[in-house]
Amino acid sequence: MTDAATETRTVVVEREIPYPPEKIWRALTQPHLIAEWLMKGDFAPIMGRQFRLSGDWGGVDCEVLAIEPHETLSYTWNYAHDDPAYALESVVTFTLTPTATGTLLRMEQVGFRPDQKQAYQGARLGWRQHLENLEKTVAGLG
């Protein structure tokens, strides 16, 4: 199967949460708070920051790909395993949208099979380019 639709697998989980984006952002970006709902790790809200999130079962290797305070946070979510069938390379993106009663929190995880390095690198490059464009736009605003 070479259809582009079969090359990636995407998981989307959305939830309306009765708190403002600023508060949820703290829970997404402060390591002692991340540890309380996701996993322990040495996250820092810096572009390119590499960190590891560890749980009882092991851990995932991450790198910050995009960060827009109170709006978007994206990092790689890679799980190394000797058996390629269990290994995973993916990108997790959190998007926060204010609503009348709080925030719509959206988590999108795009995963790539281990034999799809090319697609994975392509997606990463896509993010980088997107962010470079964003930087240029912001710089242009003076």
Partner 1 sequence: MSGAHDILFKTLADPTRRAIFERLCREGEKTVAALTARAGVSQPVVSKHLGVLKQAGLVEGRHEGRNTHYRAQLGALTPLMDWTRQMAGFWESRFDDLEDLLKRMDQ
Which of positions 77-96 make contact with partner 1 (CB under 8 A)? Answer: 83-85, 88
* 38 touches partner 1 by CB under 8 A: yes
**The Cα angle at residue 130 between residues 124 and 134, in degrees rounded to 5:** 145
Q: Please, what is the minimum distance in Å from the beta carbon of residue 131 to partner 1?
A: 24
User: Binding partner 1 by CB under 8 A: which of 3, 5, 21, 26?
Assistant: 26
Q: Please, what is the minimum distance in Å from the beta carbon of residue 138 to partner 1?
A: 30
Tokens 């997107």 identify what position?
Answer: 130
Nearest to 93 by CA among 8, 5, 2, 11: 11
Label the pairing between strands 58-68 and 50-55: antiparallel
User: Binding partner 1 by CB under 8 A: which of 17, 104, 119, 131?
Assistant: 17
What span, in angstroms and rounded, lies between the C-alpha atoms of 56 and 66? 27
In the complex with partner 1, which residue's Cβ is closer, 114 or 131?
Answer: 114
Nearest to 54 by CA among 70, 31, 71, 73: 31
* 114 touches partner 1 by CB under 8 A: yes
In the complex with partner 1, which residue's Cβ is closer, 64 or 94?
Answer: 94
Q: Please, what is the minimum distance in Å from the beta carbon of residue 85 to partner 1?
A: 6
* 13 touches partner 1 by CB under 8 A: yes
Residues binding partner 1 (CB under 8 A): 1, 6, 9-11, 13, 15, 17, 19, 23-24, 26-27, 33, 36-38, 83-85, 88, 105, 107, 109, 111, 113-115
